[in-house]
Structure 1
Amino acid sequence: MSRHSGSSRHRSHQPRSSESNSEDTIEQVKAVVDQLNGVMVSAPHEWEAYLPSARSAMLALDRVRFFRDSQRYTEQVWILHGLQDFAFHDPDAGSIRDVAEWCQAAWLRILRNYPDDVETLTGLGHNWLQRSQATLARIQREEGTDSSSSGSGLTGNSIDSDEILTNGLETNGFSAAPPADPRRQGPLYVEARGYLQPAVDFFTRAVASADALGDLPGDLLASAAESHMSLGNVTATPSDERLFAQAIRYLRRAEETPGYSLSIYLQQYLNEYGRYVS
């Protein structure tokens, strides 16, 4: 009898207790993300020691169905940025796959509630773009000198490497493109395109949404350009030419954005090839 009444009391208070526990869980996760942010700044080489905490945080958020709550958008985005930065702490070496895929799924849940949200579309674009980097770096390592001499240079970290894209561009006055490269049908190229096409799609949607709002930041335009340039590097002619031309258009707009400066590599690319795109 006593046991039964105790159980009844527990059930009657369970919703309130459950809500309190969920809030505690979310606060604990925020503390973990704060810690991860600090590690990425001060000691990224120690990332492996913090992986169990990151995975525990992900499981905890799934347990309380955190990303189903459309009222917590700001917290959701902040947490996802922290976990995604952790997942791609060294993208050329490869991501922490389960964390990267979990972030992608979480972004998609937010997108269901906010289908035109610039931040969410950008987050998904970066997720796919960064997932491609290990494959691009592998192509660069395996083909190295050959790919450079054939004029189909690839960047290991999109445009953040020392190698400027030197692919020939035809049409609209572009210089002659190199002959079709059969390696672009190889498995690594196919894999790279599988990552980069969604990156291009999400960044394109993000740019359109931001443009419609009249608030299009330079860094979004630069990222959209990087995704197009990277996909162009693993795509056969003539599709690659269209991608490179669109990248130039994005870079022009980024260059014109008040308060924003292109990286030296993007600026060099724009200076070299911009004159060919009307």
Structure 2
Amino acid sequence: MSRHSGSSRQRSHQSRSFDQEPEDLVEQVKSIVTLLYEVVTSCPHEWETYVPSARSAMTALDRIHFFRDPQRYDEQVWMLHGIQDFAYHDADSGCIRDMAEWCQAAWLRILRNNPENVETLTGLGRNWLQRSQATLARIHREEGSDSSSQGSGHLFDFDTAQDSDDDIASPPSDPRRQGPLYVEARGYLQPAVDFYGRAVRSADTLGSTTGDLLALAAESQMSLGNVTGPPGDERHFSHAIRYLRRAEGIPGYTLSIYLQQYLNDYGRYVS
């Protein structure tokens, strides 16, 4: 489904009453979600202007119980991605919390109809991973971590890794990892790891596993490893390396420079 439409930006961003037939509402919501995609892509600094429209769209979809209809799956996923991207337009600074939680609830509603659906599991994993970014960024700012947010904005731990045969990519023991920020980050990242893991297993069963999915699963494991004390951190880093190896082996797929660097630096420590 195209992210673009001929709807007028000036008309579309205004909050609407939605006193229409269900199908008319759906079409109107689609025009708003198209606009949200465009805002995130072209002018994210103007996000506040479009919050009323986004909330009106959410209200309309709830009113017609849109996410209960399994026949509209493709439309549901497209709308959820658009609203979720808007909710996390600047994930390092936080999110529009009610929208992020609404998307999570909608994904879960869809998941009930097909608990092994790869795209739905991936959507949930992405929701939790995006939610963690503000906490990870705050850890980096407030505690002067050597980790840095690069590429997709996730927290990687290259520089603090110990270069030894029995401890791959594991930072020195740090009592701060028991502090509230780290606990909060783990609370967001563990569901991300779980949902991405389920998505990979489902994709493997279907023979449809992609490099992008494996890379996201690896990033969730790496981020969780960065906020977990030893020995649990090593387990997460090892899982990440195995995902990256699989992604690297997919014909035509190329890892990002940061993930390739991680694999090159630490892959030799994982059998």
TM-score computed with the length of structure 1 as normaliser: 0.86
Verify: 1:213 aligned to 2:206, yes or no: yes
Distance 1:139 1:123 in 2: 25
The verdict on how the C-alpha distance between 1:112 and 1:272 changes in structure 2, with shifts beyond 3 A counting, is same
Could you tell me how far 1:170 is from its partner in structure 2? 8.7
Matching residue within 186, 189, 193 for 1:196: 189
Q: 1:1-278 counterparts in 2 under 5 A?
A: 21-144=21-144, 147-148=145-146, 153=147, 155-156=148-149, 160=153, 164-168=157-161, 173-174=166-167, 177-278=170-271
The verdict on how the C-alpha distance between 1:162 and 1:244 changes in structure 2, with shifts beyond 3 A counting, is closer
The verdict on how the C-alpha distance between 1:163 and 1:207 changes in structure 2, with shifts beyond 3 A counting, is closer
The verdict on how the C-alpha distance between 1:171 and 1:202 changes in structure 2, with shifts beyond 3 A counting, is farther
1:80-139 per-residue CA deviation (whole Å, 9 max, x = no partner) reads 011011111110010111111000000000000010000000000000000000000000
The verdict on how the C-alpha distance between 1:106 and 1:276 changes in structure 2, with shifts beyond 3 A counting, is same
CA contact (8 A) 2:169 2:266 kept: no
Distance 2:99 2:125 in 1: 16
Secondary structure of the residue aligned to 2:209 is coil
CA contact (8 A) 1:83 1:99 kept: yes
The verdict on how the C-alpha distance between 1:162 and 1:128 changes in structure 2, with shifts beyond 3 A counting, is closer
**Runs of at least 5 residues in structure 1 that lack an aligned partner in the other structure:** 1-19
Sequence identity, in percent? 69
**Runs of at least 5 residues in structure 2 that lack an aligned partner in the other structure:** 1-19
Q: Looking at secondary structure, tell me which structure has more helix per residue.
A: 1
1:172-200 per-residue CA deviation (whole Å, 9 max, x = no partner) reads 64359554211111000000000000000
CA contact (8 A) 1:92 1:156 kept: no
Distance 1:167 1:228 in 2: 17
CA RMSD of aligned residues (A): 2.0
Could you tell me how far 1:259 is from its partner in structure 2? 1.9
Distance 1:127 1:200 in 2: 11
CA contact (8 A) 1:228 1:247 kept: yes
Distance 2:185 2:170 in 1: 21
Distance 1:196 1:158 in 2: 18
TM-score computed with the length of structure 2 as normaliser: 0.88
The verdict on how the C-alpha distance between 1:178 and 1:74 changes in structure 2, with shifts beyond 3 A counting, is closer
Distance 1:162 1:104 in 2: 22
For structure 1, which segment, 37-46 or 225-234, has the greater mean C-alpha deviation from structure 2 after superposition? 37-46
The verdict on how the C-alpha distance between 1:176 and 1:48 changes in structure 2, with shifts beyond 3 A counting, is closer
Distance 1:36 1:140 in 2: 29
